[in-house]
């Protein structure tokens, strides 16, 4: 996330009553999770094949439901 994105996230959260320290921790956790996910996906795709992973991801996400969203 860019610096501008962090500022926007913090402004949005503070407008909704979240403490600025909590927002900073949440942004750090999301960035850390993203780094871990990229490493994990790289390791998995190295073993299963780079072509197979997009196919699996497409199939996995095509079965998710968006019924909880706005109608």
| Tens digits of residue pLDDT in 10-69 | 688 888 888 888 888 888 888 888 888 788 878 877 887 777 777 877 777 787 655 555
pTM: 0.48
Short-list 6, 48, 57, 66, CA closest to 31: 6
Residue 55 and residue 60: Cα distance in Å, rounded?
9
Domain ranges of the chain: 3-61
């Amino acid at each position: 996330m860019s610096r501008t994105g962090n500022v926007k996230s913090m402004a949005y959260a503070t407008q909704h009553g979240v403490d600025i320290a909590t927002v900073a921790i949440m942004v750090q956790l999301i960035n850390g999770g993203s780094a871990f996910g990229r490493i994990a996906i790289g390791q998995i795709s190295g073993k299963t094949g780079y072509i197979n992973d997009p196919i699996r991801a497409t199939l996995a996400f095509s079965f998710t439901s968006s019924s909880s969203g706005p109608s």
